[in-house]
Structure 1
């Protein structure tokens, strides 16, 4: 067979053409699919992929609002914001966290406490891509070192932020409180949108009570970033609304004077303007530096404060609960007179002690030899206990507790003071529930002179004293005076709820004020030495509270008693007596006698407020940070 008979050229050509056609159709089909996919991606789903691309390139960042400033009544700056540079880490952008932290620690002086705090926050719930602070308040050298090595640390940034600063921290720590980092519990209750980008929140004091007003409203900005997440430019920005600036009733001059008068001691002073309820001074001594708590206090510093025997973190003015001793007698006098248990002319024989029944326990007067026949005015001036023992036994616990409650004892009667305790206003039901015992007449005797179960705070004593100064008109103590801006102060200040304390005979108020004037200016007044040389009349009452009980016939010897077991010295009063401008409550822990220790402190405050400060000319007051504020409204 010839070779030509075996090879069919035409058939092979047709086969090749068919195969080429099939391949061409397959290629065209692939091209059509590719074009269709390109059309879908670039035309149909253009908006979708543009958005996804922008998410890689454009980020929405929260812009925290500047926190509102706080001023005293004379426009002295008490709380401001200062810029600091913070080293932050965004975990989602860090490849190897352990290696990054190790290299950062070797390059910078990051303390073990900062590392522990960072690792703790790393484990806590947080918002995605939220930067976590690692080190605070970087200096220029540290920032320069980070700038040079920035390429080695993806996800690590140096951020500028405003943090709280208290120029007069030791003086205002217990009034203003302080801000601190938002913790897990607070994260659950705050508005996550409005607090996006905010790292600090009010922890105590004014900072906590007016947190909503001081914080402001969050803003945001659209920023363009590169592949490393570095911001290239800001595309759009909505500015945050700064927090409200608040002006307080507090007078820094009087606050400073209160701290100076208690220097080297432990105690508290509250000063109130009776006509407005404005708290002019709220001093708890010793104080502490609140600035240490803002970015996180070190373990060493916190241990030193918390373990100090003087308890500087304890707010004695609001949370210290003490026996009021004889400072409760003006309120007891109002109760006894208004309830009809006694009158202005009633006289009681004082042999130096009081007995509920013959042969029973003797309740001693501080003057062991007795004062003889005494009436209410003499008993108040002399601080005679026997008179009040008898009227207290006649009133009983129900009458005494009812009237003391109307003076604000047993509750927090302030409007905007954060953290105040209620003290303890005992009743028969309370003792039965807590002690599982009935109320004995002897309990009423002790209560009548401010001993026994009765416990009060310095704030409550000052509030009750201001009520007497106002002759029964209730003006709840408050710290807020004004709001800078268009917002009315009434929107922030809680609504007053107290009704005037109306007595059956309004002249009772004047009589009780007269008895308190006798304490200061009478020939037998316990505080007459403190009032000597005054150009104005003042009304007051001294008190000496026992820290521990004495046996029936045991004598008190101050020299033989440990200093911290000595009596507390107390004083309450107001001035001028006829038209009060200031009411105060003073307690000096373990200070001894109220007449010799606490009364002179109050006199110094009266002199400062009534005579020294009004003569000061308005001047430009410059805070420690160098920010000048104009002293515009005198006192």
Structure 2
């Protein structure tokens, strides 16, 4: 029989009490630390969450400004629709939520990764647009709303372009705000806004069109559903001290475009690849700017799937490519009037000086033949005849007489070789070659040498020379105005959406073409009238019967070279390797109100492909009173 040891039992009891006390103290310490964290360190965060359970500050996006043409036709407006939106702070499982929405067809499955990044890039209770919804889709979500914490539908205004693809390259389009867009905007002013201008006028004048965001305070339940609106529309502070601020709508903008002319240009180009730019030479107003094929900007505004976007970007006809601004082409014979003026200024040629054209030209001491487009030649021609008949041999002589650097300077005076300064982005500078240009362009020493033959072909707009349709139209407008230059522009006014007061913009003059005698302009303009009116004029056939006088010039730009002993046989050449057709014109010749350029890719000669397009556009312009615009 064992006897109990009271001292040992007491020591064991005390040790257990001490151990229990230590555990209690440790647990109490953990609780104190957590309490400090909750009450002090994380106070602001949980206070916001707590307040968010009762109140939510909701941004009120401004109404985007309307875009009008010069005659008041609406080119871009806003229409009501439903949007699916998400609040990051209230979503329990973002990946599962996006997958479930995609399974219901409410978001594009291919956009899930981008939507995930976009949602996570927004702070707190900011709402992020996920997609536009049809009435049917909105109903589908409404009956399942309880399954999606942090996701809701809201009424909104979406951008709509009544003329669709007709104005796409000039007006541009709006699209969903991307993570990259967030880096370049004032995020606070875009709270609640899901779209932003991506291209064209929509991007260039985003600051005018967008407006100023407003705010309102909402009472919400624990699931984020709206219960009540505090002080809606009052502009006054509520009991919590937060003011309700009404949004300020964006400015309406008025453009120089004439949609009647825009429609005529689009219809004239039909299914061809090409571009048209028409400018008022009196002020630089861009009356038409068309690039074909085009695209429907409404698809971007509604939310274009990645599959559809990839289809547009991989289309061999490049519908997203703005040929009017970015397309570069050899100018061909359209450059001849400008070189003729430069030759007169430099006294390299006189108006009455004749050159004999046997159908080809040779540099002294060389055997290579530079061919004329007319194999039998033109005989003796002076400057007038050379422009009217588009004699290549005459301009070979002119180029050699001037030299490459004088030609380059003459072309630069008309705006070639640099952006013309149109108020939307995407312009290409083109190329005006010179000795200095070639020195900078090429790396190898042997490639830097300028050869006489390169001067020869520059005289007919071939070789390295590249121009854009907007440059050709601008240069034609400058010629029509006899050297007075204006920066081409699309924006001509803004309108206050509340008062309807319109503020008109003044034209922006550019430095005039220097040192030209009045008779020089008349010599060249008379010759351009002969192009469209004289029996041997290269554009006489497509311009026959006009009720107005036209000064014009055809051009053909080679895409591939042809050996000097071969003939150009269009039917034997792949369609995309055929010559480009070009045409420039202004009218009425005696007091021009419109100047234009037309480029038809792989269309063949300018008189056959481009001049008929110009005729249709000019007819529409001068018959504007009877030309009815298509109703959107």
Tell me the TM-score normalised to structure 2 length.
0.86
Change (3 A) 1:514 1:49: closer
- 2:14 alignment partner in structure 1: none
Does residue 169 in structure 1 map to residue 181 in structure 2?
no
After superposition, what is the alpha-carbon deviation per residue over 1:144-198, rounded to whole angstroms, capped at 9, x for unaligned?
Answer: 3433443332211112221211111110111111111122222112112222222
Q: Which runs of 4+ in 1 moved over 6 A?
A: 48-53
Does 189-198 or 581-590 show the bigger shift? 189-198
- 2:419 alignment partner in structure 1: 412
- The answer to whether the 8 Å contact 2:493/2:502 transfers is no
The CA deviation at 1:561 is 1.0
- 1:377 alignment partner in structure 2: 384
- The answer to whether the 8 Å contact 2:88/2:123 transfers is no
- The answer to whether the 8 Å contact 1:269/1:587 transfers is yes
Change (3 A) 1:607 1:366: same
- Tell me the distance in 2 between the aligned counterparts of 1:601 and 1:144: 49
- Tell me the distance in 2 between the aligned counterparts of 1:440 and 1:102: 64
- 2:547 alignment partner in structure 1: 535
Change (3 A) 1:378 1:144: closer
- 1:97 alignment partner in structure 2: 94
Q: How does 1:420-569 map to 2 (within 5 A)?
A: 420-435=427-442, 436-485=447-496, 486=501, 488-490=503-505, 496=508, 498-569=510-581
- Tell me the distance in 2 between the aligned counterparts of 1:298 and 1:100: 19
Does residue 126 in structure 1 map to residue 122 in structure 2?
yes
- Tell me the distance in 2 between the aligned counterparts of 1:475 and 1:94: 55
- Tell me the distance in 2 between the aligned counterparts of 1:608 and 1:517: 20
1:352 to 346, 354, 359: 359
- Tell me the distance in 2 between the aligned counterparts of 1:451 and 1:148: 66
The CA deviation at 1:121 is 2.5
- The answer to whether the 8 Å contact 1:68/1:242 transfers is yes
The CA deviation at 1:103 is 4.5
- 2:265 alignment partner in structure 1: 258
- The answer to whether the 8 Å contact 1:179/1:201 transfers is yes
Aligned residues: 570
Change (3 A) 1:622 1:349: closer
- 1:223 alignment partner in structure 2: 218
- 2:24 alignment partner in structure 1: none
Does 328-337 or 197-206 show the bigger shift? 197-206
Does residue 78 in structure 1 map to residue 89 in structure 2?
no
The CA deviation at 1:116 is 4.0
Tell me the TM-score normalised to structure 1 length.
0.85
Q: How does 1:257-276 map to 2 (within 5 A)?
A: 257-276=264-283
Q: How does 1:43-122 map to 2 (within 5 A)?
A: 54=51, 56-105=53-102, 109-122=106-119
- Tell me the distance in 2 between the aligned counterparts of 1:341 and 1:145: 77
After superposition, what is the alpha-carbon deviation per residue over 1:554-603, rounded to whole angstroms, capped at 9, x for unaligned?
Answer: 21111111111111111001111001111110111111111122112111
Q: How does 1:302-321 map to 2 (within 5 A)?
A: 302-321=309-328
Change (3 A) 1:315 1:142: closer
For the residue of structure 2 that corresponds to 1:151, the secondary structure is helix
- Tell me the distance in 2 between the aligned counterparts of 1:351 and 1:445: 16
Does residue 197 in structure 1 map to residue 192 in structure 2?
yes
Change (3 A) 1:149 1:362: closer
After superposition, what is the alpha-carbon deviation per residue over 1:322-352, rounded to whole angstroms, capped at 9, x for unaligned?
Answer: 0000000111111001111111111112222
After superposition, what is the alpha-carbon deviation per residue over 1:47-93, rounded to whole angstroms, capped at 9, x for unaligned?
Answer: x9999965542222221111111111121111111122122222211
- Tell me the distance in 2 between the aligned counterparts of 1:126 and 1:543: 54
- Tell me the distance in 2 between the aligned counterparts of 1:396 and 1:505: 21
Gaps of 5+ in 2: 1-38, 40-44, 232-243
- The answer to whether the 8 Å contact 1:114/1:135 transfers is no
- 1:5 alignment partner in structure 2: none
- Tell me the distance in 1 between the aligned counterparts of 2:196 and 2:222: 33
- The answer to whether the 8 Å contact 2:557/2:582 transfers is yes
Gaps of 5+ in 1: 1-40, 42-47, 625-635
- Tell me the distance in 1 between the aligned counterparts of 2:375 and 2:630: 55
Change (3 A) 1:586 1:622: closer
- Tell me the distance in 1 between the aligned counterparts of 2:126 and 2:396: 65
- Tell me the distance in 2 between the aligned counterparts of 1:214 and 1:341: 52
User: Once superposed, what is the RMSD of the aligned Cα atoms?
Assistant: 2.3
Q: How does 1:276-291 map to 2 (within 5 A)?
A: 276-291=283-298
- Tell me the distance in 1 between the aligned counterparts of 2:627 and 2:137: 46
- Tell me the distance in 2 between the aligned counterparts of 1:230 and 1:324: 63
- 1:3 alignment partner in structure 2: none
Change (3 A) 1:92 1:358: same
For the residue of structure 2 that corresponds to 1:509, the secondary structure is helix
- Tell me the distance in 2 between the aligned counterparts of 1:374 and 1:87: 71
Does 569-578 or 224-233 show the bigger shift? 224-233
Does 216-225 or 325-334 show the bigger shift? 216-225
For the residue of structure 2 that corresponds to 1:74, the secondary structure is coil
After superposition, what is the alpha-carbon deviation per residue over 1:489-522, rounded to whole angstroms, capped at 9, x for unaligned?
Answer: 44xx8x8361111334122111110010111111
- Tell me the distance in 2 between the aligned counterparts of 1:418 and 1:195: 22
- 1:630 alignment partner in structure 2: none
- Tell me the distance in 2 between the aligned counterparts of 1:200 and 1:582: 36
Change (3 A) 1:415 1:115: closer
2:406 to 384, 399, 403: 399
For the residue of structure 2 that corresponds to 1:570, the secondary structure is strand
Change (3 A) 1:312 1:103: closer
For the residue of structure 2 that corresponds to 1:255, the secondary structure is helix
